[in-house]
Structure 1
Amino acid sequence: MKTLLKILGVIILLAVVYAVIAMLAFSKNYHFEKSVVINAPKEKVWQHVGSLKEYNVWDPFSKADKDIVITYSGAGDKVGDSYHWKGNDKVGEGEQSVKETVPNEKLVTKLHFIKPFEGDAKATFILTPEGNGTKVTWAIDNELNTMMKIMKPMMDMNMKTMFDQGLGDLKKLAEK
């Protein structure tokens, strides 16, 4: 029994040490990005990236809830257009709006998360020619609070999984 308590004590101590180091060492500025090369011209890829409505066809986050409710404001491809989503606990609730668009090159959106936590982030999609195809870079930037700093390694793993899935689905759609 004493050995079990010692092991448990060491695990708790390590968790506390990690939390303190994470709070002090990790930056509050969070940036994550992934890229994929799609064998299609950027005009064809843009059809799937340049509109919030088309984005939600391949977006892995909205696919996490088959009963998600999405309400659009505008066509989804102009500055000021937006959508509101409300889903299960995994998807939460929030809004995404177009902040900048350069057709066939760049889309910048603002994400406003309402549930399960309040927060804002910026998502960016950049399309650049690459050989006979198009390189798509998807990035997200936000500010981490103290608790999110502790969870940063898990966030990175989750973002990698979701971005890989989304960019893979985008590649399949755009290469058809």
Structure 2
Amino acid sequence: MKTLLKILGFIILLAVIYAIVAILAFDKKQHFERSVVINAPKEKVWQHVGSLKEYNVWDPFSKADKDIVITYSGTGDKVGDSYHWKGNSKVGEGEQSVTEIVPNDKLVTKLHFIKPFEGDAVAKFILTPEGSGTKVTWSIDNELNTMMKIMKPMMDMNMKTMFDQGLGDLKKISEK
């Protein structure tokens, strides 16, 4: 029993040390991005990226809840257009609005997360020619609170999985 308590105490000590290091070492500003090259012209890829409604066709986050409720304001492809989502505990609740559009090149949106954690972020989709195809770079920038700093490695793994899934789905529908 003493050995088990020593092991448990050691694990708790490691967790506390990690939390302190994470809080002190990780920057509060977070940038995450992934890219994919799609064998299609920018104009074809833009059809699936340049509109919030089309984005939600391949977006992995909204697919995580089959009963998600999405309410659009506007057509989804103009500055100021937005949507509100409300889903299960995996998806949460929030809003995304278009803040900048350069047709066939760039879409910038502001994300406001309501649940499970309050927060704001900026997402960007940048399309650039790459050989005979199009490179799509999807990025997100936000600020991490103390708890998020501790969870950063887990968040990065989840973001990598979701971004790669989304970009893979975008590639499939754009190359049809």
Pairwise same-fold verdict (TM > 0.5): yes
Deviation at 1:117, TM superposition (A): 1.0
1:33 equivalent in structure 2? 33
Distance in 1 (CA, whole Å) between partners of 2:15 and 2:31 is 24
* 1:116-168 Cα shifts (integer Å, max 9, x gaps): 11100000000000000000000000000000000000000000000000000
* 1:5-59 Cα shifts (integer Å, max 9, x gaps): 0000000000000000000000000010000000000000000000000000000
1:20 equivalent in structure 2? 20
Segments of 5+ residues of structure 1 without an aligned counterpart are none
Partner AA of 1:48 in structure 2: H
Segments of 5+ residues of structure 2 without an aligned counterpart are none
Distance in 1 (CA, whole Å) between partners of 2:89 and 2:157 is 19
Partner AA of 1:171 in structure 2: K
Distance in 2 (CA, whole Å) between partners of 1:66 and 1:116 is 18
* 1:54-86 Cα shifts (integer Å, max 9, x gaps): 000000000000000000000000000000000
Distance in 2 (CA, whole Å) between partners of 1:24 and 1:4 is 30
Partner AA of 2:139 in structure 1: A
Find out whether 1:147 has 2:147 as its counterpart. yes
Mapping 1:1-176, distance limit 5 Å = 1-176=1-176
Distance in 1 (CA, whole Å) between partners of 2:8 and 2:67 is 41
TM-score (norm 1): 1.00
The ranges of structure 1 where at least 4 consecutive aligned residues each deviate by more than 3 angstroms after the TM superposition are: none
Q: CA RMSD in A?
A: 0.3
Partner AA of 1:15 in structure 2: A
Partner AA of 1:66 in structure 2: K
TM-score (norm 2): 1.00
SS of 2:83's partner is strand
Question: What count of residue pairs does the alignment treat as equivalent?
Answer: 176
